Structure 1
Amino acid sequence: MQLKALRYFLMVASNRSFLATARHFRVPASSVSRFIAGLEKDLGHQLFYRSTRAVRLTEEGERFHQQAREAIDLLDAAVDDLGHNEGALSGRLRINAPEAFGRLHVARLIGALQAEHPALDVELQLTDVFIDPVQEGVDITVRIGAQVDSGLIGRTVAAQRQIVAASPAYLAAHGVPQTPADLLDHRCLLYKGQFGTQRWYFRQDASAAFEGINVSGPLCSNNAEVLLDAAMEGRGVVLFPSWLYRQGSFERTQLVPLLGTWEGSASVESSYIQLLSPENKLRSRKVREVTAFLLDGFGSPAYWDEAADT
C-alpha cells in the first residue's frame, strides 16, 4: 500500500472529485484513478461510488477514511517535529472559516503567513455551515458562536461584539434612538439566514439575560455586506459584529455607533470567535505555529474592536 495512494484517497474523499485531486497534486487524472484502483485492490473493497455526476464514499470507504486520516495526521506530525524541520513550515494545511470572516480577516493573514513560510500550502475553505473538522480533515477551524464542549481544543480570539449603527444622514432624517425600544420606530435592516430572520437582543448588565425585540424594516438579506452597504447609504439601522464593519467605517463617519450603554446580540447567548483543532492535529508543530500566527495577527484586543472604539 503506497503512501501516495492514501493521500490521493483522502483528497478525493474531501473534494469529491478525481479531477480536482489531480489538479491539486499536479498529476494526470489517470494517475489518481490508477492509484485509487490499486488501493481498492489491496484492501479488497470498493472505496468510492463513481458516476458522471458525483463521487462519494462507500460504507467501507467511510470506515477506512477515518482511520487513514488519523494515520496520515500522525505521520505528518512526526515529520513536522523532526529536528531538520524546525525552521520554515512546509506541507499542506487546511483552514475552515465562516465566509465573511474568512474573506475579511483570515485571507489577508494567509499572504503574510506564506511570505514567511513559502513552502507552506494552505487550503482555505469558506463556508457558513458548521463542519466536523475531524471528519473533513481540517487542521484549524475558525468558529463563531456559543462556547460548547465539542471535543475540539481551541483558543478564544475574542468575544463577539455586536454594534448597532446607522449613517449620519439616516439619523438626521429619523432621529437618534436612545434605547432598544426606540428601534421599533426605526427602519431596521435585517439579516435572514438559514434559521430565519434575525432577531435583535439587548441588555445593559452583563449578568442579566438578553431580551429580544421584534424590529422590522424595508430590507432583509442573507448577505450581511448588502445590508451594510444599505446602512452606509442612509437606508436604515443595522446590528452586526464589530469584525464585519469595514475598517474606517466609523472613522470616516460613514456610520455612527448607537446605544453605547447597551450590549447587543443576535442570539440569546454570548458569542465568541475561536480557533479550534482536533486533539490529534495539535501534535503537529505546523498547526500550533499557524494557530499562534493567526492569534497574533488578530491581536488582543482584536484589531477590529480597537477600530470600532476609535
Structure 2
Amino acid sequence: MHLKAHRYFAMVAVTGSFSATARHFRVPASSVSRFIAALEREVGHQLLYRNTRAVRLTDAGERYYVQIREVLELLDAADEAVTGKGGEIRGLVRINAPVAFGSLHIVKLLNGLYDKYPQLTVELTVTDAFIDPVQEGADIIFRVGHLEDSGLIGRKICDQQYVLCASAEYLAKYGKPASPEDLQNHACLVYKGTGGAQRWYFRKPASDKVKIIEVHGPLRSNNAQVLVQAALAGRGIVFFPSWLFSRESFVNKQLIQLLPDWEGAVEQTPSQIHLISPENRLRSQKVRVVWDYFISAIGVPPYWDDLSGSRTDCDI
C-alpha cells in the first residue's frame, strides 16, 4: 500500500478538503482523489463521505485515521532525525487552546509562525474542556488554570494577572470604587460558569490577608467576551485576566483600570497559563520549533500584561 495514500488521507481528514491537501503536497487534486480511492479499495471500507459542500470521515475512516496517525508521526520523526535540524520545517502540528484565548491570541500569533515556517500546517482546535492530548492527538496545548500532575511536559508561561476596570462613561456616572468593599455598591458584570457565579478576591501586595467580595449587577454570563463588551458599553465593572482585554481599549481610555494598588483573582490560589505537550511529541523537530516560537513570541512577562501600550513587539 502506497505511503502517499496514507499521507493524503491523513491531510484530508484534517483539512476536510481534497484541494487543500493537493495544494499542501503540490500535486493535482485528481492525484489525491485517485490515491485515496485506491486506499479505500485496499482496506475494503469507505473512509470518506464526499459531497459538493464538504468531505468528512466515515466511522471506519475515523478509526483508521486514529490508527495511522501515530505511525505517520513516527515516520516524520525518523525523517527529521535523518535530515537533521537543517532540514525544512514542514508538516502538521496540532494545537489546542481555550476558546477565548485561541481566538484572541493564538490565531494572531500564527501569522508570525507562518512567516518563519511557511511549509507548516496547523490544526487549531478550541475548547474550554480539558482534553486528553494523547487520546486527542494534540501536539501542543495551552492550558489556562491550575495544572494537574500528569505525565505531560509543561512550561509555565505566566501567572494570570487580573484587571478590574470599567468604561469612562460608567465611571463618569457612578464614580470609581474606593476599595474592594465598595464594589458591592456598584454594577458588577459577573462571570457565571458551571461552578456558579464567581467571587472576587483581593489582597494588598505582600499581604496574606484576602478580602472575598460577593459582587452583583445587571448581567451575568458564561461568556467572558460578552461581559467585556458590556463593560465597554458602560454597563458596569468587569474583572478578568489581562489577556482577555484589548490593549487599545486602555490606550484609548475606553476602559479605565480600577483599584491598581490591589492584587486580585477569582480563586483563593492564583492560577497560571501553561504550555504542555506529551513527551513523545516534543521529540519532533516541527513541534519543538512551534513550542519555542510561542514561548518567544509571548515573552516574559507576556505581552498581554502590557495594557499601557509601552511594548510594540506584539499588537493585540
**Normalising by structure 2, what TM-score?**
0.80
RMSD of aligned Cα (Å): 3.3
The CA distance in 2 between the partners of 1:309 and 1:116, in whole Å, is 25
Q: Distance in 1 between matches of 2:260 and 2:177?
A: 11
1:294 is aligned to: 294
Q: What is the total number of aligned residue pairs between the two structures?
A: 299
Q: How does 1:274-289 map to 2 (within 5 A)?
A: 274-289=274-289
Which whole-Å CA distance do the structure 2 matches of 1:138 and 1:179 have between them?
44
Name the CA distance, whole Å, in 1 between partners of 2:48 and 2:209: 50
Aligned to 2:102: 102
| Counterparts in 2 of 1:198 and 1:295: CA distance versus 1, 3 Å | farther
Does the 8 A contact of 1:101 with 1:243 survive in 2? yes
Quick one: which amino acid aligns to residue 251 of structure 2? E
Contact 2:251 2:309 in 1 (8 A): no
What is the correspondence of 1:111-190 to structure 2 with a 5 Å cutoff?
111-190=111-190
Distance change in 2, residues 1:102/1:61 (3 Å): closer
Aligned equivalent of 1:241: 241
Q: CA offset at residue 240 of structure 1?
A: 0.9
Amino acid at match of 2:170: Y
Q: How many angstroms does 1:144 deviate by?
A: 0.7
C-alpha displacement of 1:296: 0.7
Q: CA deviation at 1:231?
A: 1.1
Rounded Cα–Cα distance in structure 1 between residues aligned with 2:218 and 2:154: 40
Distance 1:38 1:143, change over 3 A: farther
Aligned amino acid, residue 105 of structure 2: H
Q: Cα gap change, 1:273/1:74 in structure 2, threshold over 3 Å: closer, same or farther?
A: same
Note closer, same or farther for the CA distance 1:143–1:210 as it changes in structure 2 (3 Å cut).
farther
Query: How far apart are 1:153 and its partner, in Å?
Result: 1.0
Note if contact 1:191-1:222 (Cα within 8 Å) is conserved in structure 2: yes
Give the Cα separation in 1 of the matches to 2:95 and 2:246. 23
The equivalent of 2:21 in structure 1 is: 25
Classify the secondary structure of the residue corresponding to 1:291: helix
Give 1:250's aligned residue: 250
Where does residue 202 of structure 1 map in the other structure? Answer: 201
Tell me, in whole angstroms, the C-alpha distance in 1 between the residues paired with 2:192 and 2:42: 46
CA distance in 2, matches of 1:21, 1:51: 10
Is the Cα contact below 8 Å between 1:14 and 1:136 reproduced in 2?
Answer: no
Q: Aligned partners of 2:131, 2:14: CA distance in 1, in Å?
A: 12
Structure 1 residues not aligned, in runs of 5+ = none
Give the residue type in structure 2 aligned to 1:180.
Answer: P
Relative to structure 2, which stretch is displaced further, 224-233 or 22-31? 22-31
Q: CA deviation at 1:235?
A: 1.4
Unaligned runs of 5+ in 2: 23-28, 311-316
When structure 1 is superposed on structure 2, of 197-206 and 129-138 the one drifting more is 197-206
Pick closer, same or farther for the CA change 1:65–1:266 going to 2, 3 Å.
farther
Percent identity between the two aligned chains: 43
1:121-171, CA deviations, whole angstroms, 9 ceiling, x for partnerless residues? 222222323222212222111111102113221211111111111123322
